[in-house]
Amino acid sequence: MSKAFIAGTGMTAFGTHPRRSGRDMFAEAGLAALEDAGLESEEIDEVFYGNFIGTVSENQGHQGPLVAEAVGTTAPARRVESACASSGLAIRDAVRAVRSGEADVVVAGGMERMSNMGTAGATDGLARAADDLFEVQSGVTFPAAYALMARAYFDTFGGDREDLAHVAVKNHDHALVNDHAHLQEEIAVDDVLDAPEIATPLGLYDACPISDGAAAIVLLSPSYAAERGLDTGVAITGSGHGGDTMALQDRRSLAKTPATREAANEAYTDAGIDPTDIGLVEVHDCFTIAEVLALEGLGMYGYGEALGAARRGETRRGGELPVNLSGGLKAKGHPVGATGAAQIAAVQTLLNGTHPRSDAVDDDVTVGLAHNAGGTVASASVHVLEVMA
Amino acid sequence: MTDAREDGYDAFLDALEAGEGYYYECSSGHGTLPPRRACPHCGDRELATATLPSTGEIVTFTLVTVPTPQFKDEAPYITAIATFGPIRLTGIVRGIDRENVEIGREVTVVIERDETTDERTITFRP
């Protein structure tokens, strides 16, 4: 399968921007990605845009053409919605467009603005990523859904809140040098354990913040890149998408995420690699337990074995497999529709040496992975990125 | 909150309320809940109606401190997933002291109203 080159990346600072419109934030990220790629808006063939709840939070549907306009084109554009996996899957669609030969230059990314909804409004909005009839009507909030999985995980494999706290501490530490991160704040295990509870066994510091922001990448076909002599340092060489039942109650196991496993296997096969080739990972850690579930789903660890990884230092900077060097969703922030694109931008810049945490990436690392999950992992996208020789 | 629910879901709640809960079983033996026209696990469309056991067992639960608007007057409250024979249901736990809610605890399923919006909700009681 042909590659899709990442020619440029761009993102806004993630944080609380209640008075910035989505169109403005995506314009900032998309135009920065074009500038990074050395391309003009008129060269864009197609725009793929991830967004979860803009129809409600910004009173604006049909956002595809709106954000295409914002980056200076009336090229065909569509919005991709898959809850928190919206832009991971927008990028997957973009990769397929480039690989099929239908497009040479694609802008793909996403945006979310939620802080203007307030905490109650955002909590209500995020709950829409769960099954309305069988979960929301029974009091399940989004943190509650992950809490149900966390308790099921502890019951199945053992472990406790303190093990999870190390994930939060690690990701906060990673974000300290990332000026685009929502939270640049060092925390200790006790801070996590002492934080107010949201949904037991998860507390405030087990959760990512409610963030606003946008991220975008520019993808190129190999022929176009060669023709124009453009940077082809890093390419997406594998892409996968897995699915599962919407409601947790219909899953065979509440302590595993098979959609991640399916997406990963598809991406590994596509890229012709296996998990041992991968030297750095950005995974979907909307809650601390989510990072654990992701690493096991990806086959980086056996089931029940990833819980202690952060505590043992294996997934910290300087460890064998650095995970979420950007700070992850936990500290970098989680503007839902922008997250998948931001992860890919992070992996690309970590691999090419332009990320503020690139010094934590060993010189021999040439393969990275980005994992983006929707809902309680009823959707998952996985992308493999490789440095091109 | 949903103003107009699904007929199939409402009929399911009606049955639970009358103490006549049911579920669907496909020809491969997978259990699933209405509204459904096909088994989500295997796609089978031969869904037979079977009697839902009246008692179940909690498999996981959480004490929710930050609620959705529908449950704001009830917070903090416990939501649990419980197994009833071959299917699982998600519901609010009432009538059990918080410290006594645990995995493996037996519960019955009933339909009650939430305190904020008076909507019907699946409820687990001792």
Which is it for strands B87-93 and B77-84: parallel, antiparallel or unpaired?
antiparallel
Residues of chain B contacting A287 with CB distance shorter than 8 Å: none
A269-283 tens-digit pLDDT: 999 999 999 999 999
- The count of CB pairs under 8 A between chains A and B is 105
d(CA B76, CA B63): 6
Joined together, the tokens standing for residue B18 give 């009358």
Annotated active-site residue A334? The verdict is yes
User: Residue B3's pLDDT is what?
Assistant: 54
User: Residue A1's pLDDT is what?
Assistant: 52
d(CA A181, CA A161): 25
A111-157 tens-digit pLDDT: 999 999 988 889 889 988 999 999 999 999 999 999 999 999 999 99
**Nearest one of A354, A11, A372, A360 to A182, comparing CA atoms:** A11
B93-104 tens-digit pLDDT: 999 999 999 999
User: Residue B2's pLDDT is what?
Assistant: 47
Average pLDDT of span A13-19: 95
Q: Report yes or no on whether pTM surpasses 0.90.
A: yes
Which residue of chain B comes nearest to A127, CA vs CA?
B68
Residues of chain A contacting B5 with CB distance shorter than 8 Å: 133
**Nearest one of A47, A50, A64 to A98, comparing CA atoms:** A47
User: Residue A325's pLDDT is what?
Assistant: 98
Per-residue buried b or exposed e for A80-110, using 16+ beta carbons within 10 Å of the residue's own CB? bbbbbbbbbbbbbbbbebbbeeebbbbbbbb
Average pLDDT of span A147-174: 98
Joined together, the tokens standing for residue A289 give 């337990």
A188-237 tens-digit pLDDT: 999 999 999 999 999 999 999 999 999 999 999 999 999 998 877 999 99
The DSSP secondary-structure symbol of A334 reads B
Q: How far is CA A79 from CA A50, A108, A127, in A?
A: 6, 10, 20
d(CA B85, CA B53): 6
User: Residue B69's pLDDT is what?
Assistant: 86
d(CA A17, CA A277): 39
The answer to whether the Cβ–Cβ distance between B121 and A137 falls below 8 Å is yes
d(CA A180, CA A342): 10
List, in sequence order, every residue forming a beta bridge with B63; answer none if it has no partner: B78
- Average pLDDT in chain B: 93
Joined together, the tokens standing for residue A266 give 């598809």
> What number is the ipTM of this complex?
0.96
User: Residue A269's pLDDT is what?
Assistant: 98
d(CA A173, CA A191): 13
B126 Cα to chain A: minimum distance (Å): 17
Say whether pLDDT at B42 is over 70.
Answer: yes
CA angle at residue A279 from A383 to A376, to 5 degrees? 45
Domains detected in chain B:
1-52 (no CATH), 54-126 (2.40.50)
B105: CB partners within 8 A, 6+ apart: B57, B58, B96
| A248 contact B CB<8A | yes
A57-109 tens-digit pLDDT: 999 999 999 999 999 999 999 999 999 999 999 999 999 999 999 999 999 99
Share of chain A above pLDDT 90, in %: 95
Average pLDDT of span B75-91: 97
| A322 contact B CB<8A | no
Category of A361 on φ-ψ map: left (φ > 0), alpha (ψ -120 to 50) or beta: beta
Residues of chain B contacting A198 with CB distance shorter than 8 Å: 64-66
Extents of the domains making up chain A: 4-118+209-382
Say whether pLDDT at A268 is over 50.
Answer: yes
Angle between helices A22-37 and A63-70 (to 10 degrees): 50
Average pLDDT of span B68-85: 94
User: Residue A375's pLDDT is what?
Assistant: 96
Which is it for strands A4-11 and A213-220: parallel, antiparallel or unpaired?
antiparallel
Residue with token string 């909307």? A286
User: Residue A163's pLDDT is what?
Assistant: 97
Say whether pLDDT at B1 is over 70.
Answer: no
Say whether pLDDT at B62 is over 50.
Answer: yes
| A253 contact B CB<8A | no
Joined together, the tokens standing for residue B125 give 């009681």
Nearest to A139 among B9, B40, B79 (CB): B79
CATH number of A4-118+209-382: 3.40.47.10
Say whether pLDDT at B7 is over 90.
Answer: no
**Mutation target vs A (from B2, B65, B70; most A CBs, 10 A cutoff):** B65
Say whether pLDDT at B107 is over 90.
Answer: yes
Q: Which of A17, A84, A208, A371 is catalytic?
A: A84
A313-366 tens-digit pLDDT: 999 999 999 999 999 999 999 999 999 999 999 999 999 999 999 999 999 999
Report whether A282 contacts A367 (CB < 8 A): no
The answer to whether the Cβ–Cβ distance between A197 and B63 falls below 8 Å is yes
